[in-house]
Structure 1
Amino acid sequence: MRFRAGAKRRYVTLGARADGWTREKAADELTYVLGQVQRGEWQPPRPAPVIEEPVEEPTFHEFASRWFDGIAPELAEKTRVRYRWQLTNHLLPFFARHKLAAITVEEVDRYRRAKVREAQTRRAAVDAWHKRCEALRDGEQRPVRPERPMSAASINGTITRLGQILEEAVEYGHLPRNPARGKRRRLKASKSAAVWLDRADQIAALLNAAGELEADCRADRRGIGRRALLATMALGGLRVGELCALRWRHVDLAAGRLRVVDSKTDAGVRLVDLLPALRDELLAHKAASASTSADALVFPTLGGRPRDANNVRERVLRPVLRHANANLERRALSPLPVGVTCHKLRHTFASILVALGEDPRYVMGQLGHTDPAFTLRLYTHAMRRDDGERERLRALVQGADWAETGRNAGAVPIAA
């Protein structure tokens, strides 16, 4: 229907035949409308309101799953595994059924407090487990180890991931602000102290203890290579994952080198020059190993399977540290520094190279590092080491103070 009203040409759609409209009915409607125009009563028809379907607010589980599926292809494999662990093991058990709008600052704080309580409970369980293990008699079955407690840094990592997800929810209009943002949502995470064995007597005490445990254990539990394993970390600088993946084809004893091929970084794939003492240890370990084929693991479990970080820490390093400290206590000597870990033994290797006067770039290459900051901190620390200690370290790792290979492997003289 076309007509003029208010000095403008107007077009009004009446409907279709299916709605009952005919030419006659349209003509009658036009006559009626023109009468309204003449009387000044006509108003343009208002458009029918658009009724939008209500959008259901997603739960955190739904939104976080879509977020992870979207970002996962862009992540490195280890980052993807870490994100999945944070979601599956921590965030989803707490927030899965929450509507996004229900995740408030108060809820985020409640999550943080719950994780702190969980960590305290697990820490108490682990402490009790260690006491039970220490009381075991030879041959008794070791109880199942409780889950490790989360550190403050790990808890903060899950809150950071929560904040990353909720930031996208804010961008999509599901939330007015991000409740996980801000330092007040995080725990105060203390930096771990700089702990490593950087004296000849400390390194010797550790390896002596490892050799003694190897010699004193049951016949069916020998061949683990406790001493050579710890020497490879302390005198070769391998990460625990690199150590567990090491195979005999990667070790060239004749050339005095080992090749790291399975590392968490590109820089970690490297050739490590064997210090004379470490070469001797690996020669002795190879001679005592059940399998030395090219594909055989250098440090397998008794069952021939690959070790993992937990196995190395609980079955090798921790018992050796206890035995070493017991030896030192009997001699009225100071114990080894508290906090020695597998990773700290890498620091020991770096400290040895610095004491030997190696170039910082060489030290970085041997460790598989790209950031020089750590190496420079080691050089600063080494400046406080006296010349006598440098010479003792040099004598130890060059083999001058080392037991002759294959003889009395459980004892290394400690320089006075």
Structure 2
Amino acid sequence: MARKRNPNGAGSIWQRSDGRYEARVYVPQPDGTRARKTVYGKTWEECDTKRQELVLRDRQGVPTPTRSARLSEWLPHWLEEFVKPERKKTTYAKYETHIRLYLVPHIGSKRLENLGVADVRRMLAAVTAKASAATAKESHRVLRSAVSAACREELISRNVVQLVPAPRVQVRELKPWDLDQTVAFLEAARRDPLYAAFVLAVALGLRRGEILGLRWSDIDLDRRTLTVRNQIQRVQKELYADSTKNRRTRVIPLPLMCVAPLRWQRLRQAAQREGAGAAWEANDYVFTTRSGRPIEPRNISRSFERIADGAGLPRVRLHDARHGCATLLFAAGVPPRVVMEILGHSQIAVTMNIYTHVTEETRREAIGHMDRMLRRRPVAG
């Protein structure tokens, strides 16, 4: 029985000298041109199925590259078309840095279909030597995501990056301030213009950007509640307002120790607004410059470090106050789920594994319980 002839543009099938069947179809390319794509099959039916898939993609306007793109082409394309519309600006900026500094220089000349395990290993070794294991691990994650997107787009059939384990990174040992050190810092910061901000960082574990993104409309001092909705971020030359890290809004009860500093901050800001006059930038932010503009994130960190140094305290980051808050909440017996909600984590594992640090006093108290339970009682005579 004679095979039906395919309509124009649908390609054709013939049997090769090696017994396999071959079909060629003109398909659209990512750059808007058209090129001929060849597929093979052990049987006529298998080859015809592949041919029909190409024809269907053509009719749907889906590009089918005849040859996979180089990573130097695919990675920027993935960044602009897949990452930029869906992810935060901070994520986009971080990915762009890894692509520009590490991935393209080391494996940019490789085509997607030719990228091998050895290429990925060499790239990771080079990045580790040039920067650090942590940087190489992040580059691995970026590359894995980009190649996974290429698989979903059916540009390649497998993701070889998943076959290569990411470098092991030695976790930095965090040692947040204990209770006495935390109290000493607050005493030293009492006269600082950002005192209320530091109280919120210590008592509620707010992220730096969340503190700077607070608006007066988010705070109810009478009902003693604070709503975390936004954050202020700096990405390259842009200072902008964004949603929270996990895009979730959370309402936190305000401790009494936060109320008076916030009232003081409102009075202080009112005086600044009056002094600035028409130059004041009205935006309702709780913490602002003398002209009402949002505070640069790096500036609040500098103030935090300056006060800590002046008080003779161990050097920690402002973000470490968040770790200290979690530790103090756990030491006070607050359930892990509640701590998770206060800190705004999306997973309780983050709260348990990263943001809690067992103090010496807590360890001694735990061992004391064991001592009381297991202590051998004297035998009656």
- Shared fold by TM > 0.5? yes
Take 1:245 and 1:279, find their aligned partners in 2: how far apart are those partners?
18
1:155 to 136, 141, 145: 136
The change in CA–CA distance for 1:118 and 1:226 in structure 2 (over 3 A counts) is farther
Local SS of the residue matching 2:303 = helix
Q: Cα deviations across residues 278-307 of structure 1 (Å, max 9, x unaligned)? A: 222222222223249983322224554323
**The structure with more radius of gyration:** 1
Q: Cα deviations across residues 205-247 of structure 1 (Å, max 9, x unaligned)? A: 22233346x3xxxxxxxxxx23222111111221112111112
TM-score (normalised: structure 1): 0.55
Shift of 1:376: 5.4
Shift of 1:74: 8.2
Q: Cα deviations across residues 70-125 of structure 1 (Å, max 9, x unaligned)? A: 64488444655554443345423444444457755555445435434543xxxxxx
Take 2:201 and 2:288, find their aligned partners in 1: how far apart are those partners?
15
Query: Contact conserved, 1:100 with 1:175, CA < 8 A, in 2?
Result: no
Take 1:374 and 1:60, find their aligned partners in 2: how far apart are those partners?
33
Shift of 1:318: 2.1
Shift of 1:169: 6.4
Farther off after superposition, 234-243 or 360-369? 360-369
1:86 to 80, 93, 98: 98
The change in CA–CA distance for 1:168 and 1:371 in structure 2 (over 3 A counts) is closer
Match of 2:164 in 1: 182
Identity %, equivalent residues: 25
Match of 2:172 in 1: 192
Shift of 1:65: 3.9
2:187 to 208, 212, 216: 208
Match of 1:63 in 2: 74
Give the letter for the 1:59 counterpart.
R
Query: Contact conserved, 1:354 with 1:379, CA < 8 A, in 2?
Result: yes
Match of 2:241 in 1: none
The change in CA–CA distance for 1:68 and 1:286 in structure 2 (over 3 A counts) is closer
Match of 2:257 in 1: 277
Matched positions, count: 285
Give the letter for the 1:324 counterpart.
A
Report whether the alignment pairs 1:253 with 2:221. yes
Match of 2:304 in 1: 317
**Bigger proportion of residues as strand:** 2
Match of 1:306 in 2: 294
Query: Contact conserved, 2:70 with 2:112, CA < 8 A, in 1?
Result: yes
Give the letter for the 1:63 counterpart.
W
1:297 to 280, 285, 291: 285
Query: Contact conserved, 1:248 with 1:294, CA < 8 A, in 2?
Result: no
Query: Contact conserved, 2:144 with 2:159, CA < 8 A, in 1?
Result: no
Take 2:308 and 2:67, find their aligned partners in 1: how far apart are those partners?
58
The change in CA–CA distance for 1:163 and 1:241 in structure 2 (over 3 A counts) is same
Query: Contact conserved, 2:140 with 2:161, CA < 8 A, in 1?
Result: no
Query: Contact conserved, 1:108 with 1:179, CA < 8 A, in 2?
Result: yes
What is the RMSD computed on CA atoms of the aligned residues?
4.2
2:362 to 384, 387, 401: 384
Give the letter for the 2:308 counterpart.
L
* Greater relative CO (CA pairs within 8 A, separation 6+): 1
Shift of 1:316: 1.9
Task: Please give the residue correspondences for 1:15-414 in structure 2 after superposition, counting only pairs within 5 Å.
Answer: 58-68=69-79, 71-72=82-83, 75-77=86-88, 82-100=94-112, 107-119=119-131, 152-166=133-147, 178=160, 181-183=163-165, 186-199=166-179, 201-211=180-190, 214=192, 225-262=193-230, 263-267=244-248, 269-289=249-269, 290-291=272-273, 295-302=283-290, 304-313=292-301, 315-325=302-312, 335-336=313-314, 340-373=316-349, 381=358, 384=362
Give the letter for the 1:261 counterpart.
R
TM-score (normalised: structure 2): 0.59
Take 1:67 and 1:173, find their aligned partners in 2: how far apart are those partners?
12
Give the letter for the 1:62 counterpart.
E
Query: Contact conserved, 2:115 with 2:160, CA < 8 A, in 1?
Result: no
The change in CA–CA distance for 1:295 and 1:64 in structure 2 (over 3 A counts) is closer
Local SS of the residue matching 1:259 = strand
